[in-house]
Structure 1
Amino acid sequence: MRETVRWGILATGGIAERFTTDLLTLDGAEVVAVASRTEASAKAFADRFGIPRAYGDWEGLFTDEDVDIVYVATPHHAHREAAGRALEAGKAVLCEKALTLNTREAEELVTLSRDRGLFLMEAMWMYCNPLIQRLAELVRDGAIGEVRTVQADFGLQGPFDADHRLRDPAVGGGALLDLGVYPVSFAQLLLGEPDTVQAHALISPEGVDLNTGMLLGWESGASALLSCSLEADTPLTASVTGTLGRIDVPRGFFFPERFTLLRNGAEPEEYVNEDDPQSLRHEAAEVMRCLRAGGTASPLVPLDGSLAVMRTLDAVRERVGVRYPSEMAATRV
């Protein structure tokens, strides 16, 4: 691939604005097109960022010969269709997390990308954060011994009105896919896919999870206590404890400014992020690195890892009784 990577942005919401802002700080990144379901929204977005082409439908973006990769920033329920159509059109794809509504849809996307030899990555920006990479490296290298416990939480104060997208089951609403994906991904980065999944949740009248607690277990004896909430401003911290020490990550664990390594019997070791911890450019840079190298998947955000996280999220929803309308419709058919 050429040195310049030409991006197309699909959807024009807040996360698309954040990503595009950070993407344009990278050398060799060019945004050539944006698409939305309305031409007015696409044109307003294009005008804001100086993007040459704006489409009022998805197809224009997918058939644009100048687009190398599509960034999918739609709500969860549209990820499967949007990413799938982009791949079928021969485009590489970076798709927001959670990758899809469920494992079946995720497996379909992964199979499609592998069959076509096209790049696909879930936009789990936490995995691309240099400090998170360093934390995972320390754990792998045995800095805290054998991992025994992981704790992480992500909660927002709310309340969210009944008509808010986070409470709409039709678009994959609820705490789990928006927020819970972070604690689950953090635990599985360090321990892999769990052997057992237990969960409890407060369910809204609409049928989505408002407050969810998860207990994951591994045959090694390790466990993870995780939570997500749309009703409580939780600490947003994470901790991983092993037989030889502990690592504590303060508020904002998924974009850490620092973390502390506490080895048994030793002075605390502080690791500091010298870069902007909230920037999305690290994941964009990883995508462009992979594309330039001819890769079809990222070693930092592997597709098998994304599938494993989706299986855990599915297991949690099964335990608490949350199903999305599209899943119920598919069962009836």
Structure 2
Amino acid sequence: MTKYNWGIIGTGWIAHDMADALNTVNGEVYAAANPNEEALKEFAQEKKVKHTFTNPDEMIADPNIDIIYIATPHTFHYDYIKKALNAGKHVFCEKAITVNARQFDEVEKLAKEKGLILTEGFTLYHMPIYKKVLDLINDGKLGQIKMIQVNFGSLKDYDPNNRFFNKDLAGGALLDIGGYATAFARTFLSEEPNSILTSVKFFETGVDEQSGIIMKNTKDQMVVMALSMRAKQPKRGVVSGTKGYVEINQYPRATEADITYTSDAHTESHEKITAGNSDKALEYEVQDMQRYVEQGHDDGQLKMSHDVAHILTSIRTAWGMKYPFDDEN
């Protein structure tokens, strides 16, 4: 596989993890950018970054860079994605790729016009266990998929000033952790939901603290989803069909799935399947992104992100919750 030069925007904890993955897969991190010169210097020394930029725009303009990785807060993603695509760079962006569907549709269109790969950093899209589970479903072993249940709950420290609770930074459970739950659900639905029922409890800053969400598509497949940011929940997903169900724990970086077959409704049999290594989740992301670039298409990942972005925006619309930049042109 061809070696590609990556440039990282941002030097937070996820950028540190991605730099480790890049060093493992590619042997180096070509470039990093952060206006905070001290943080950038520390990052570059620790991760052995070849080139540094205090102005991300200058890094984006570097003709030697093939792929831009965006690891900033949500609110900066849209602008950096547009700049990178317009500079002819492929883009791998952390979730949530944009803060609303309008922004997503614009960058999706731009990527297609430029003939560039745009991919969102949901680890579950790249974990090997999901191919095994989808193959099992496609082979009919679970029958017709009817119901998906998925939870994600974090216990964030009470701090109204933290970005997780800051409306100006697109805070709230939905964009921070709900994207993972929604991506899990969409992975196993045959089409995007067209009906959403939901209830929300808001945090004092006006962002969503916890919510319950029920979705259904025209195939009558249903999703029941529970999100919370002030109460821990297991990261657990269950996909149920007419012949059995599969349980996936720690689903963002899952490596195993427990299957229960119930084809005659009276007896059960069980199977466990395994694949991958959770410690290599970001390495799988790097490998897949480079494969997408090499082959010239993304195996349908941008379509999945399109549906997730639209689902998340529909949920917020149902709540009547807007971010300050939702109405910007």
Question: What residue number does 1:189 align with?
Answer: 187
- Identity among equivalent positions (%) equals 29
Question: What residue number does 1:298 align with?
Answer: 298
Which deviates more, 213-222 or 103-112?
Answer: 213-222
Counterpart among 45, 48, 59 of residue 46 in structure 2? 48
Q: Secondary structure at the match of 1:24?
A: helix
**Contact 1:5–1:29 (8 Å) recurs in 2:** no
Question: What residue number does 2:278 align with?
Answer: 276
Structure 2 vs 1, CA of residues 39 and 159 (structure 1 numbering), >3 Å: closer, same or farther?
closer
2:149 paired with 1:151: yes
Task: Letter of the 2:220 partner, please give it.
Answer: G
2:132 paired with 1:134: yes
Q: CA deviation at 1:278?
A: 5.7
2:164 paired with 1:162: no
Question: What residue number does 1:25 align with?
Answer: 24
Q: Secondary structure at the match of 1:314?
A: helix
Question: In structure 1, how many angstroms separate the alpha carbons of the residues matched to 2:169 and 2:280?
Answer: 26
Task: Letter of the 1:289 partner, please give it.
Answer: R
Task: Letter of the 1:102 partner, please give it.
Answer: N
Question: In structure 2, how many angstroms separate the alpha carbons of the residues matched to 1:60 and 1:128?
Answer: 30
**CA RMSD for the aligned pairs?**
1.6
1:120-143 alpha-carbon deviations (Å, 9 max, x no partner): 111122111000221122222221
Unaligned runs of 5+ in 2: none
Task: Letter of the 1:248 partner, please give it.
Answer: E
Which deviates more, 265-274 or 144-153?
Answer: 265-274
Counterpart among 105, 108, 111 of residue 107 in structure 1? 105
Question: What residue number does 1:78 align with?
Answer: 76
Unaligned runs of 5+ in 1: none
2:233 paired with 1:234: yes
Q: Secondary structure at the match of 2:269?
A: coil
Question: In structure 1, how many angstroms separate the alpha carbons of the residues matched to 2:135 and 2:73?
Answer: 32
Structure 2 vs 1, CA of residues 274 and 85 (structure 1 numbering), >3 Å: closer, same or farther?
closer
Question: What residue number does 2:216 align with?
Answer: 217
Q: CA deviation at 1:302?
A: 2.0
Question: In structure 2, how many angstroms separate the alpha carbons of the residues matched to 1:235 and 1:227?
Answer: 10
Question: In structure 2, how many angstroms separate the alpha carbons of the residues matched to 1:98 and 1:75?
Answer: 9
Question: In structure 1, how many angstroms separate the alpha carbons of the residues matched to 2:213 and 2:279?
Answer: 27
Q: CA deviation at 1:29?
A: 5.4
Question: In structure 2, how many angstroms separate the alpha carbons of the residues matched to 1:288 and 1:327?
Answer: 32
Q: Secondary structure at the match of 1:325?
A: coil
Question: In structure 2, how many angstroms separate the alpha carbons of the residues matched to 1:302 and 1:239?
Answer: 21
Question: In structure 1, how many angstroms separate the alpha carbons of the residues matched to 2:302 and 2:237?
Answer: 24
1:74-111 alpha-carbon deviations (Å, 9 max, x no partner): 11111100111011111111011111000110111111
Q: Secondary structure at the match of 2:35?
A: coil
Question: In structure 2, how many angstroms separate the alpha carbons of the residues matched to 1:134 and 1:273?
Answer: 8
So what's the TM-score if we normalise by structure 1? 0.93
Question: In structure 2, how many angstroms separate the alpha carbons of the residues matched to 1:72 and 1:29?
Answer: 20
**Contact 1:67–1:91 (8 Å) recurs in 2:** yes
**Contact 1:99–1:106 (8 Å) recurs in 2:** yes
**Contact 1:152–1:227 (8 Å) recurs in 2:** yes
1:202-246 alpha-carbon deviations (Å, 9 max, x no partner): 112211100011101122222110111111111211101111111
Task: Letter of the 2:140 partner, please give it.
Answer: G
Question: What residue number does 2:170 align with?
Answer: 172
Question: In structure 2, how many angstroms separate the alpha carbons of the residues matched to 1:218 and 1:53?
Answer: 48
**Contact 1:202–1:209 (8 Å) recurs in 2:** yes
Counterpart among 272, 287, 290 of residue 288 in structure 1? 290
**Contact 1:102–1:314 (8 Å) recurs in 2:** yes
So what's the TM-score if we normalise by structure 2? 0.94
Question: What residue number does 1:245 align with?
Answer: 244
Question: What residue number does 1:66 align with?
Answer: 64
